[in-house]
Amino acid sequence: MVECDVLVIGAGPSGCVSAAIVHKSGLKVRVVEKEQFPRFVIGESLLPRCMEALEEADFLEVLKAKGFQEKFGAKFVRGESICDFNFTDQHANGYTWTWQVPRAEFDSTLAQAIQERGIPVDFQTSVTAIDFADDYSLIRTLDRDGREESIKARFIIDSSGYGRVIPKLFHLDRRSDQPQRVTFFSHLTDTQRLDFSEPNRITIVSIREGVWVWMIPFADGRTSVGFVGYPEYFSEYQGTPGEILRQLIESDDYVRRRFGEQTFVMEPRKLEGWSVTTDKFYGKGFVLTGNVTEFLDPMFSSGVTLAVVSGARAAHLAVKSLQGLPVDWEEEYMKPTMRGVDVFRTFVKAWYDGTLPTIFFGTRLEHRFKQQICSVLAGYVWDETNPFVVKREKALTQLAEYIRLQAAAEA
């Protein structure tokens, strides 16, 4: 039987960051990954805050060597109105840039880096059952040839993303408070990129309240394009995901001008029902990280940042616990993790209920407020000096109301 101190389930960004940090402590860590890498996963636009966790896990050098598209801000477009955020001009004193990445390549880079440090990664191997005992757990796995194996681990970090291994095995899943949304997306050629201003910047196009498009350019000339909205919006479109995505591209002037003539370089896909959560992100002998905790919505690109920040935090606490030191998982893990998720929850709600579009596309957004909002968009959602973190609901509502009144007075 294979034995280790910490078993990490899943070699996505969260799992790789966790594994790297546990390894640095000298403990024996192993990763089990269901797929063969490179594999596709959605989530291609990162936030500057994630660079801190990637740096802590010593991943920045290998990632820089890949030449991924650098991301210095984000642009929001509605009709003729443009709201452009630059991460150099923000409230927080943190990273001012990050990357836009095809995840297959990004995740493979991280997984290869941990293997090169001597961390075993069992690819094409799924966790199928777990028996928790007092001081260790027995984890049963199944590889693609049907071989079963048992692993004995003192602690489990479940970073299985949409696989949700522990919540599913132990019936911990709970419905999220987010309404169900749908996306149609693909990667396209982008040969006219240079005809557009800021051709490499991520652009979010607001089509109408509750419906929007992401355009995420990659360094190799491809761009990821996805329409997101409520299910009824898409019911008027018929056909395969590719046929529907083509009709959606044609339906909007801004998107059609750039992508109307472009070719799909990945089979277009439909995704829905991604919002799910659990009551507790920890238990005796295990912790949940990344998407297994809670994933809200693709708006604001928070997923990978929350995944790597929670992965790093969980790894430090697991090490502390295995060193025999007391850990208050509620105070040290659950609450800080939820604080970050909840800031994004407020912003996601404010986007869909029209509060944020009012702020973004109103006539005058005061510079100081723009800097504070920019820091949230950069992922600095734990910054207690930012009113759009601490008093976010009030700050957003009052600012939107002020902008509405100002517009009415000027009309």
Which residues contribute to the site for ligand FAD (CB under 6 A)? 9-15, 32-35, 41-46, 126-127, 159-163, 165, 183, 271, 274, 290-291, 295, 298, 301, 303-305, 307
Q: Nearest to residue 47, comparing CAs of 397, 347, 362?
A: 347
> Is the Cβ of residue 128 or residue 323 nearer to ligand FAD in the bound state?
128
**331 Cβ partners below 8 Å, 6+ apart?**
none
Q: In sequence order, what DSSP letters do the residues of 315-370 get, joined into one string? A: HHHHHHHHTT----HIIIIIHHHHHHHHHHHHHHHHHHTTHHHHHHHSS---HHHH
Residue ranges in 122-198 assigned as alpha helix (H): 165-169
The rounded distance, in Å, linking the Cα atoms of 46 and 71 is 8
* Smallest separation, CB 216 to ligand FAD (Å): 7
> Is the Cβ of residue 299 or residue 373 nearer to ligand FAD in the bound state?
299
The rounded distance, in Å, linking the Cα atoms of 193 and 314 is 40
The rounded distance, in Å, linking the Cα atoms of 81 and 33 is 44
* Smallest separation, CB 290 to ligand FAD (Å): 2
* Smallest separation, CB 227 to ligand FAD (Å): 10
**How many residues would you count in the chain?**
411
* Smallest separation, CB 126 to ligand FAD (Å): 4
* Smallest separation, CB 285 to ligand FAD (Å): 17
* Smallest separation, CB 127 to ligand FAD (Å): 4
> Is the Cβ of residue 219 or residue 365 nearer to ligand FAD in the bound state?
219
> Is the Cβ of residue 275 or residue 371 nearer to ligand FAD in the bound state?
275
> Is the Cβ of residue 159 or residue 346 nearer to ligand FAD in the bound state?
159
* Smallest separation, CB 8 to ligand FAD (Å): 9
> Is the Cβ of residue 62 or residue 365 nearer to ligand FAD in the bound state?
62
* Smallest separation, CB 72 to ligand FAD (Å): 16
Residue ranges in 3-102 assigned as alpha helix (H): 13-24, 50-56, 60-64
> Is the Cβ of residue 48 or residue 163 nearer to ligand FAD in the bound state?
163
* Smallest separation, CB 202 to ligand FAD (Å): 8
* Smallest separation, CB 4 to ligand FAD (Å): 15
The rounded distance, in Å, linking the Cα atoms of 381 and 404 is 26
> Is the Cβ of residue 75 or residue 365 nearer to ligand FAD in the bound state?
75
Residue pair 257/225 in contact by the 8 Å Cβ criterion: no
Q: What is the DSSP letter of 211?
A: E
Pairing of strands 121-122, 29-32: parallel
> Is the Cβ of residue 34 or residue 399 nearer to ligand FAD in the bound state?
34
Residue pair 18/311 in contact by the 8 Å Cβ criterion: yes
Residue pair 11/36 in contact by the 8 Å Cβ criterion: no
Sign of CA dihedral 355, 357, 359, 362: negative
The rounded distance, in Å, linking the Cα atoms of 258 and 274 is 28
Angstrom distances, CA of residue 155 to CA of 43, 217, 292: 28, 39, 16
The rounded distance, in Å, linking the Cα atoms of 76 and 198 is 12
